Amino acid sequence: MLSPLLSLAAGCDVVDLGCGTGRSIAELVRIGARSIVGVDFSKEMLERASRRLPTRVRLVESDCRKTPLPAQCCDWVLASFLLSYLDGLTAFAQEVVRISRPRTFVLITDVHPATRSYGWRRTFRSAESVIEIQTHPYEISDLDCAMHRAGFDPVYFKEAGFGTEELEIFSQAGRPDLYWTVKDLPVFFAAGYQKERA
């Protein structure tokens, strides 16, 4: 879902908020973004990112809601699988508008809010225990509202479910049958916003 959209960042000054290990930044380098800054508040994530990325990518350890980046430093912003971890969206949207030039495009992807109604939990296994990740639920309308208040227009929205490539993951977990039950449900979304002219 993300790759065709990332290609729109070719030639742009890009900020990836909550960049993690730099999965999307590697793609942004490949497609020819003019400059790339990755922001994450986890030192461990940034260390892993710095091992895989070229030195021209700047990595900044910071909360994405209050970065040390200069105002109007970018024309493309990515926030991929970040928002569920934020307690409220207003501070995020205000920081995005601060660092954005007029007409900046913002691409947000996340787990679809509808997954809550399926009763799914976000967990991972560590040794013998299953650990639940704390997330902060929001609706797409909450996101639209926070971005609109900050000065962004919605310009793109797409929902997606699991693709056939995820069938292997279900099979490895011993539940290939479950894939066929859930494959038509929305599981992810991508939303694009554009900053109004100054």
Ligand X SMILES: C[S@@+](CC[C@H](N)C(=O)[O-])C[C@H]1O[C@@H](n2cnc3c(N)ncnc32)[C@H](O)[C@@H]1O
- The span from the CA of 49 to the CA of 180, in Å, is 34
The correct pick among 9, 12, 14, 24 for binding ligand X (CB under 6 A) is 24
- The span from the CA of 117 to the CA of 123, in Å, is 16
The correct pick among 8, 41, 48, 138 for binding ligand X (CB under 6 A) is 41
Strands 123-126, 100-111: parallel, antiparallel or unpaired by DSSP?
A: unpaired
Nearest residue to ligand X, scored by beta-carbon proximity: 20
Q: How many residues bind ligand X (CB under 6 A)?
A: 17
- Cα R_g (the chain), whole angstroms: 17
The correct pick among 15, 53, 59, 64 for binding ligand X (CB under 6 A) is 64
Residues 6+ apart with CB under 8 A from 158: 1, 189, 190
Q: How far is the CB of 10 from ligand X (least distance, A)?
A: 19
Residue 165, token pair as written in the block: 């490539």
Residue 171, token pair as written in the block: 């099979």
Scanning 80-88, 94-102, 146-154, 160-168 for contacts with ligand X by CB under 6 A, the matching segment is: 80-88
Q: How far is the CB of 42 from ligand X (least distance, A)?
A: 4
The correct pick among 9, 13, 20, 115 for binding ligand X (CB under 6 A) is 20
Q: Tell me if 135 contacts ligand X by CB under 6 A.
A: no
Give the chain's length: 198
The three-point CA angle 191-194-197 to 5° equals 165
Q: Tell me if 95 contacts ligand X by CB under 6 A.
A: no
- Specify the residue, 61 or 196, whose C-beta has the smaller distance to ligand X: 61
Give residues in contact with ligand X (CB under 6 A). 18-20, 23-24, 40-42, 45, 63-65, 80-82, 85-86
